[in-house]
Amino acid sequence: MAIITLNCPECHQQFKSDESFQGQDVQCPSCKTIFTAGHSATETPSGNSSDAKHAQEKTSEAQRIASKLGNHLTDLAGVEKLEGFSLKELFSEVLRKHNREEIEEYFTVGASSTTPSIDDVETAWPKPWVFFKTFLGALLIYMLFLAGWNEFRNVNLIPGLIIVGSFAVPVSTLIFFFEVNVRKNISLYQIIRLIFLGGILSLITSLILFQVTDGLRLNWLGASVAGLVEEPAKLLALLTVTSIAKYRYRLNGLLFGAAVGTGFAAFESAGYALRLGLFNTDLMKDMIMVRGMLSPFAHIAWTAMCGAALWRVKGADRFSFSMVRDARFLRIFGIVVILHMLWNSPLHIPFYGKYLFLGVIAWVVIFALIQDGLKELRDEKLKGSEM
């Protein structure tokens, strides 16, 4: 009898079942949701041509290796391995048509009157799409500034070129994390506040800590010392929101971390762009482009990981420094510091391979942390329904 693959409509985990269950009620082994196994379930093929079979075997082997490496990484980070996760499903809404009212509604959340009840929170994998619309809009504005500069060479256009170029991709990435926070209990005001306040606090703290490391004679680490300096600095900036009781969810910490990382990344890129722009505008444009496109894999991802790790320990409690000694936090924070140090190291892989490889590692952990945050909300809904 053929085996079919079922996809849970709640948590999207895939699991195998006997074809005799088609049309009958089945229970997801992960989230325990009961649903009807429809005829859209995919049947395991019983035979293929030799070429197709060979290609399928190669794909399966690559997926097996990727899954194995991902599982090792999530074990190292102390989070559950990804189950039923699909990038295609996650970004399935990106290219669909959405009107302006839908975009406006996306951002009218976080106040007492616009935060949904836990019973109304959707705990399946989210399908973010506003971040992509934001990126396209910011890219259009940047290209207009660039076209204006190329045509007129008017220095009044340079500040706009720097600001839009430095903030476009980081802010678009941040909106992705805003959409992923399915609890919808954080307002856009809090995010904007943390971009600016968290960004400047982390930059100033980094400058202070760099002076400390100079005294400790850590210059032999070269640029890699930034991992030991900037990650604690951004973590300290996160403490400005740890005392607000309603922000107790792991997805909240993920979003707050991304906001601080966005501020740090954008302000730092703007500073580098300004310094280059004083001497060579063409180099400035190249630098803005490269740093912008790599920003989702660096500061934003790293600080998001730290934020989620801290909120895993903190929860609804008030922050205490003993929390940063908890293994659940230290394991992820250690990974972040190592990723940052490798990012700044002399190690070179052509075509930005080093940065992309390190970025993939960071995002595997991030997706596992998102899964962990969704499970937290799912458990809270379940407890509420049992009371």
Tens-place pLDDT, residues 240-250: 998 888 999 99
Residue 46 confidence (pLDDT): 47
Using the structure block, give the residue that is written with the tokens 């890699």. Answer: 224
The answer to whether residues 200 and 326 belong to one domain is yes
Give the pLDDT score at 9: 74
Average pLDDT, the chain: 90
Q: Is the pLDDT of residue 296 over 80?
A: yes
Q: Mean pLDDT, to the nearest integer, of 214-219? A: 84
Question: Are 318 and 247 in contact, with CB atoms under 8 Å apart?
Answer: no
Look at the chain and report how many structural domains it folds into: 2
Give the pLDDT band (50/70/90) at residue 40: very low
Poorest-confidence range of 16-20, 176-180, 311-315, 335-339? 16-20
- Compare 36 and 19 and report the one with higher pLDDT: 36
34 and 169 fall within a common domain: no
87 located within any domain = no
Query: Would you state the torsion angle of the CA atoms of residues 224, 225, 227, 233, taken in this order, to the nearest 10 degrees?
Result: -150
**Owning domain of residue 128:** 93-386
Structural domain includes residue 178 = yes
Do 30 and 120 share a structural domain?
no
pLDDT, mean of residues 228-246: 94
pLDDT-based confidence at 217, cuts 50/70/90? confident
Query: Has residue 198 been placed in a domain?
Result: yes
Same domain as 368, residue 244? yes
pLDDT grade for 39, boundaries at 50, 70 and 90: very low
Q: What confidence score (pLDDT) does residue 12 get?
A: 67
Asked, for residue 99, whether it belongs to a domain, the answer is yes
> Where residue 32 falls among pLDDT bands split at 50, 70, 90?
low
Indicate whether 16 and 162 sit together in one domain: no
Pair 304, 362 in one domain: yes
Burial degree of 197 (CB within 10 A; 0-12, 13-18, 19+): middle
- Please tell me the least confidently modeled range out of 163-167, 301-305, 317-321, 364-368: 317-321
Task: Map the chain to HEC letters.
Answer: CCEEEEECCCCCCEEEEEHHHCCCEEECCCCCCEEECCCCCEECCCCCCHHHHHHHHHHHHHHHHHHHHHHHHHHHHCCCCCCCCCHHHHCCCCCCCCCHHHHHHHHCCCCCCCCCCHHHCCCCCCCCCHHHHHHHHHHHHHHHHHHHHHHHCCHHHHHHHHHHHHHHHHHHHHHHHHHHCCCCCCCHHHHHHHHHHHHHHHHHHHHHHHHHHHHCCCHHHHHHHHHHHHHHHHHHHHHHHCCCCCCCCHHHHHHHHHHHHHHHHHHHHHHHHHHHHCCCHHHHHHHHHHHHHHHHHCHHHHHHHHHHHHHHHHCCCCCCHHHHHCHHHHHHHHHHHHHHHHHCCCCCCCCCHHHHHHHHHHHHHHHHHHHHHHHHHHHHHHHHHHC
The answer to whether position 86 is within a domain reads: no
Give yes or no: residues 63 and 120 share one domain: no
Do 231 and 286 belong together in one domain?
Answer: yes
Is 103 or 38 the better-scoring residue by pLDDT?
Answer: 103
- Position 54 scores a pLDDT of 66
Task: Please give the angle made by the CA atoms of 155, 159 and 160, to the nearest 5 degrees.
Answer: 110
Which residues are bridge partners to 17 per DSSP? 4
What pLDDT does residue 66 have? Answer: 80
In a domain, 321, yes or no: yes
Q: Are residues 173 and 316 in the same domain?
A: yes
- State which of 77, 103, 129 marks the end of a domain: 77
> What's residue 316's pLDDT?
92
**42 φ, ψ (degrees, to nearest 5):** -90, 135
Query: Looking at per-residue confidence, does 7 or 164 come out higher?
Result: 164
pLDDT tens, residue by residue, 48-81: 556 656 666 666 676 778 888 899 999 999 999 9
Residue 88: inside a domain: no
Confidence of residue 8 (pLDDT cuts 50, 70, 90): confident
Backbone angles phi, psi at 28, to 5 degrees: -65, 130
Strands 3-7 and 42-43: antiparallel
Q: 154 and 63 in one domain?
A: no
Residue 313 to residue 250: CA distance in whole angstroms: 9
Apex CA 313: angle with CA 309 and CA 314, to 5°?
A: 110
| Same domain? 72 vs 103 | no
Residue (of 282, 133, 153) closest to 145 by Cα position = 153
Residue where one domain finishes, among candidates 35, 50, 77: 77
Region 190-205 average pLDDT: 97
What is the model's pTM? 0.86
In a domain, 268, yes or no: yes
Condensed to tens digits (0 to 9), the pLDDT of residues 105-120 reads 999 999 999 999 999 9
Q: 18 and 147, same structural domain?
A: no
